[in-house]
Amino acid sequence: MIFTETKLAGAFVIDLDPIEDSRGFFARSWSEEEFVKHGLTTRNKQANVSFNRIKGTLRGMHRQAEPFAEVKLVRCTRGAIVDVIIDLRPDSPTYMQWTSVELTGENHRMLYVPENFAHGFQTLEDNTEVTYQVSEVYTPSAERGIRFDDPAFGIEWPLAVEVISDKDRTWADFKGEEVAV
């Protein structure tokens, strides 16, 4: 695996390092040893799949508050997404900054999302599937969110939003902390 830190400290793009032959390729998508070597969390408590029928579907921006803050390892297994993260660690030099990464079924790329980052994505193709490994179980009382178009962040989404949940569309403006569900 090839680890490349994003402009947001502690968040990594992880590319496979495939061994190819006439059959295709073989590559590791997880190695506790390599994650530890990079100082990353290796605890996995839950795995999730998100299937999205329509291009332009937007999910996010979500996180869980302490003590249920979660690390996510996100990969698009079919189709394509723009995956967006926001650093919400008040003591971080990149506090309130965001970045995006294109994840596709073709590029096999993953995004490591640290604790206390908001996370969301927009689908670039119909019938897109995304998988997550997360370090904590979903805890509804700890769920927090940021509206996808909150002016405090100015996220540049590549497409018009075609599908979004009512909850994601109506999160309150960010004022230093997200509103609980």
Residue 47: phi and psi, rounded to 5, are -125, 135
Structural tokens at position 64: 């869980």
Residue 37: phi and psi, rounded to 5, are -60, -30
> Known catalytic residues?
62, 132
HSE-CB of 130 using CA atoms within 13 angstroms: 27
Q: What element of type H or E holds 32?
A: helix 32-37
CA–CA–CA angle 10, 13, 19 (5° rounding): 135
